[in-house]
Structure 1
Amino acid sequence: MTQTGTSEDVETLAQDFWEWRAAQQPRSHDDIPRIDRPAGWLPDFSAGAVARYRRERDAFAERLARVDVGADRAAAVDARLLRSALARVRWELDVLRTWQRDPGFYVDQTLGCVFDLLTPVEVDAARLADVRRVLAATPALLDVGRENLAGEAVQEFAGLAVTALATVEDDVAAMVAALGDLHPAGWGADDGRALAAAGAAAARALGAFRDRLAEQLPGLPSAEPVGPEDFGWFLREVAVLPYTPQELLDIGRREAERAAVLELLERNRNGSAPGGRPVPRFETGAEQAAAQADAEIAVRRFYEDRGLLTQPDTLAHYRTHPMPAYLAPIAWCGVADDLTGPDRLDEDGSAFFPPPGEDLPYFYAANAADPRAGIIHEGAHHQQLALSWRHPRAVRRHYHDSCANEGIAFYNEELMLASGLFDDAPATREVVCNFMRLRALRVVVDVQLALGELDVPAAAELLERQVPMDRGTALEEAAFFAATPGQAMTYQVGKTQVLALLADASRTEGFSLRAFHDRLWLEGNVPFALQRWELLDDRSDLDRIDRLTP
């Protein structure tokens, strides 16, 4: 790391911090926080590593305290972003403590890392070698997990891990067998045998990890919610939000009611029966992928024709593909997409989908009926990240909190609906309205889980009944939200902030909707309270955060 004197430069500090974070940051089930890793990287959450991370985090905080931005508002925004990033490290290590409390954390750091390596469309010999390396390290990584979890693991999260790992031996075996059919250049028979041996050892270790958890499960303590004090700190320091938990609940409930009415009116307009599911319209995955590719180009043309968002020639495309045989067995490990990264801006973003059918999970069913349903959200993620990774200010190229990223993608859904993209698709208009209801209800579920007013089964039941959605997706969502407080609410809360920012910006002289959106996507990693300050010279959100701070 760069050594500093009495003064500190925010750009140098940011460079050092993100270089450190690339090695320290745990693997996440979510796709937006994925980060490029150093060559040969493996996660390390041994007791010694955690102690070192805390010391290094505190050293960064001391350096940040020496930053003097003067009257430079842009530099002040960058410094506040670093404060948010450092607060997230504290949130992970000292508040959530998933490395001590959640056995699923170690599934993420092992098989989850393998999953991430396999999400790009092309899997070459170097990537297969990385898969083999992670599989070979899995038994030792799980040993660290057992040490950290001893006396700390909680029953609900352990139960979720046991369920997730129910067929892990077969899952890993099927994955390795399918990888053996790839035969990329530079990958020989000895490599294949070494991969198979590493996979077999990893599968045994994961199965033993599951079995030991199952034995311990009845005696494990129940999970404690983060509670109002720590959750309030997260809202102010990590997410940079000017709201109390009760205000967030009010936002979620009001928006859920609004979305329910919009869906009701849309169904009445179309003469649709309540509770209908999207109907897949493709016979094969190849047919769906081809339709999506055409639709993505049409959506980009729509942005330009309506003067909504500039589509640079240098912006790569977002494509979808049938789920490959090697990824399908472990698809439960994360979001099966590849949004690329800062060093791969010339590559298309991509996502995988299961074969079209009648019993698809909630979001896959929507995309099988109309691929634009996914393009306007996951495709918006790809565009926003690809544009933000080009930001001239390096600190803004990084993920800080999901409110900005998910807020933009969710806002984009209603932007496309209101602008007429789905005038030819009544059923898709209903789906988009239903998406609104889900995302609003997520705020209620997220906040009530964090405050201890709901447990995971009750949260899943609420989603299943009120969205409605299938039981499996509802349980998966509720479990993820319980383990990651403050994430599920980001869609609706971020969108609410975008709407407020747009309403105020539209009253300024020379306002342009296209220019507003171009800036919004470019600044898409920056919390909206900071965007408001920089764009409108309005510190009201930041001042409210100061007033809410004890």
Structure 2
Amino acid sequence: MAMAYSVRTWRFQLFLSGLLMASAAPAAYAMADYQQLTELSAKWRTFEPPAVKACVPDYSEAAMTAKAKGLADFQQKLAAMDSSGWTIAQIGDARLVAAEMNGMDFDLRVLKPWARDPSFYAAVWGEDSDVPEHEGPSIFPIIDLQTYRYPLSKADQKTLTCQIGAIPAILEQAKLNLKDSNARDLWVYGTRAFREQSATLAALQDGTLDMRTLEGRVHGSLKGADKTLIKAVAKAKAATDTFQQWLDAEAPSKTGPSGVGKDNYDWYMKNVHLVPYTWAEQETLLKRELERSRASLALEEYRNRNLPQLDPVNNPDAYMAMAKTKMRALTDFLIKGGLVDEQTYYRDAMANQVGGYTPPEKRNFFTHGMALDPSGLFSHDYHWIELARRKHEPNASPIRANVPLYDMYDSRSEGMATAVEELLLHAGLYDDTPRSQEIVWIMLANRAARGLASLYVQSNDMTLKEAGEFHARWTPRKWSDPDSDLVGFEQLLYLRQPGYGTSYVTGKLELDRLISEYSFEMEKQGKPFSLPEFFTKMNASGVIPFPLIEADMITAPLHVETKAPAQ
């Protein structure tokens, strides 16, 4: 099994052709050269989005061909840089920029979401994502309704009139750009995004739009808006409904595969997301985690055999009282344990995600568990602490402080949030409620099962329907319904964004390995292992792929070196 890349590999290979090092270079020269990297990164970030005219982005074939030529120029400039004397963190910044450029390269050569994936053209969002970037390939610019203050100011009305008013033209362009797409599952499941967009626009029209954000709920409406915006919203909704109908009519004629295949998947993992495991290695790892989680659940149930079962809370008031109490207890556990600093914005970030009550007949996988004890899923909401940190304590590196491109955050963000679920179990969160530990193992089994299914979809060994059935079959207690909106949403996302479905588990395993190596390093230095100190150092590296964090934190990794992946 190929393992993560060592510090020596980072220093001398850097996964970049032509990016060499000479350790004796003067520090002043190195800093000046690093400044060139930050300047190149800023220019790259300006170049990366499509050209936009009258709020309509250009994703035509000619425009994407021009992007490929411009990308090659940026890659050449990056490869020609002299990184002599750079720190390991600065080298990590260069690797991040290189990975972003590889992401565009992969999109242009393989993924081509603008030419294959109808969902790509859904532009309207009504809530914050719990990760640094919206999940999956997304059109630019995204219309984030939750970021506005309501009633809308004149300036915001002008912006939204342009952006929402562009939706009919965007969807007409989409029909042209998608004309040669034959990716069956992307079409069959693609109408979901436009049903949601239509519902969001309708809620904005009738004033019932309720949106989740880091700071809490935001109520959106067109109250007080001028007629131009009101008409633009109506036309955008009509165009969205028409486009959905067009997708439904076209989908039956689509017969081709939708996954990227194993070879492309492997290249993408190593060169873009910096995940050091191939498709085959991820299959092995996720199978093992599925076995481990289901076995752990069985043993946990045996240990608890003489304890009463948890009963679901089926009263809205009782549930909300329990949920708020559980969230406060979890937040206290994190802060008093030294894993999170005592800051109002961290407490608020968690308190704002308590959510609401779900009646029994509407429960999905997650809400089944939350009705028993929401602590497991609330542990996953560690996401929101990370988002608050990015907002209030941005990384000193301008490159690391950027919003990650191409969902490069996935193993770090989703893996970290998944790891926190089990980490807090081992740290004693459930000492007084042992039955709640069963929910943690059920959630891990679900994440491993759905990740395995996503691998088989990417290798074109399963359809999305078959993936949903596999996903549900291996989830304990029949909490997962293969026909549910949740399972459909998850498996479609994992098809659209290679590696996302496995990132919860592969990222968790990367964190496990990092804790192991860091504790070993402390042992060699004759120092005790401190989990709070570990978290502090890891957080200082930023929300970046784990191999880069490892390079920052570990002087002599234990694992075997591998060669840099080919470009």
1:100 aligns with one of 115, 126, 133: 115
Quote the residue 1:531 is aligned against: 549
2:292 aligns with one of 241, 244, 258: 258
Structure 1: which amino acid aligns with 2:409?
A: D
1:50 aligned to 2:64? yes
CA distance in 1, matches of 2:42, 2:297: 43
- Give the share of equivalent positions with the same residue, in percent: 23
1:62 aligns with one of 76, 88, 94: 76
Is the Cα–Cα contact under 8 Å of residues 401 and 527 in structure 1 kept in the other structure? yes
Quote the residue 1:382 is aligned against: 384
CA distance in 1, matches of 2:210, 2:259: 45
1:305 aligns with one of 316, 336, 348: 336
Deviation at 1:237, TM superposition (A): 0.5
Quote the residue 2:7 is aligned against: none
Is the Cα–Cα contact under 8 Å of residues 103 and 161 in structure 1 kept in the other structure? yes
1:504 aligned to 2:531? no
CA distance in 1, matches of 2:432, 2:58: 51
Is the Cα–Cα contact under 8 Å of residues 381 and 405 in structure 1 kept in the other structure? yes
Gaps of 5+ in 1: 1-5, 27-37, 321-348
Deviation at 1:384, TM superposition (A): 2.4
Is the Cα–Cα contact under 8 Å of residues 412 and 543 in structure 2 kept in the other structure? yes
CA distance in 2, matches of 1:110, 1:512: 40
Is the Cα–Cα contact under 8 Å of residues 408 and 524 in structure 1 kept in the other structure? no
1:135 aligned to 2:160? no
Structure 2: which amino acid aligns with 1:451?
A: S
Quote the residue 2:274 is aligned against: 240
Residues 457-509 of structure 1: per-residue CA shift (max 9 Å, x gap): 11100111111412312222112111111111111101111111111211222
CA distance in 2, matches of 1:141, 1:109: 12
Change (3 A) 1:168 1:247: closer
Is the Cα–Cα contact under 8 Å of residues 110 and 134 in structure 1 kept in the other structure? no
Quote the residue 1:317 is aligned against: 347
Q: Which moved more, 1:367-376 or 1:436-445?
A: 367-376
Change (3 A) 1:77 1:479: same
1:220 aligns with one of 251, 254, 268: 254
Change (3 A) 1:351 1:44: farther
CA distance in 2, matches of 1:545, 1:172: 50
1:144 aligned to 2:146? no
Q: Which moved more, 1:289-298 or 1:215-224?
A: 289-298
Q: Which moved more, 1:400-409 or 1:246-255?
A: 400-409
Change (3 A) 1:535 1:171: closer
Deviation at 1:75, TM superposition (A): 1.4
CA distance in 1, matches of 2:199, 2:340: 47
Quote the residue 1:178 is aligned against: 207
1:445 aligns with one of 446, 450, 453: 453
State the number of aligned residues: 497
Change (3 A) 1:217 1:301: closer
Structure 2: which amino acid aligns with 1:65?
A: A
Residues 303-361 of structure 1: per-residue CA shift (max 9 Å, x gap): 24334x141436433457xxxxxxxxxxxxxxxxxxxxxxxxxxxx8448454311222
Q: Which moved more, 1:120-129 or 1:448-457?
A: 120-129
Give the 5 Å matches for 1:333-482. Answer: 350-351=352-353, 353=355, 355-358=357-360, 359-378=362-381, 380-388=382-390, 390-398=394-402, 399=404, 400-467=408-475, 468=478, 469-471=480-482, 472=484, 473-482=486-495
Change (3 A) 1:169 1:244: closer
CA distance in 2, matches of 1:205, 1:464: 35
Gaps of 5+ in 2: 1-28, 127-137, 212-217
Is the Cα–Cα contact under 8 Å of residues 460 and 478 in structure 1 kept in the other structure? yes
- Match of 1:63, SS state, is helix
Is the Cα–Cα contact under 8 Å of residues 252 and 442 in structure 1 kept in the other structure? no
Quote the residue 2:101 is aligned against: 86
Structure 1: which amino acid aligns with 2:395?
A: H
Deviation at 1:262, TM superposition (A): 1.3
Q: Which moved more, 1:364-373 or 1:94-103?
A: 364-373
CA distance in 2, matches of 1:209, 1:529: 42
- Match of 2:499, SS state, is coil
Structure 1: which amino acid aligns with 2:347?
A: H
Q: TM-score, normalised by structure 1?
A: 0.79
1:117 aligned to 2:144? yes
Deviation at 1:290, TM superposition (A): 6.3
Is the Cα–Cα contact under 8 Å of residues 407 and 498 in structure 1 kept in the other structure? yes
Deviation at 1:204, TM superposition (A): 1.5
RCO (CA 8 Å, sep 6+): is it higher in 1 or 2? 2
Is the Cα–Cα contact under 8 Å of residues 167 and 239 in structure 2 kept in the other structure? yes
Deviation at 1:252, TM superposition (A): 0.3
2:231 aligns with one of 188, 192, 197: 197
Structure 2: which amino acid aligns with 1:503?
A: S
Residues 135-177 of structure 1: per-residue CA shift (max 9 Å, x gap): 2111011111111101224222111123554586566334311
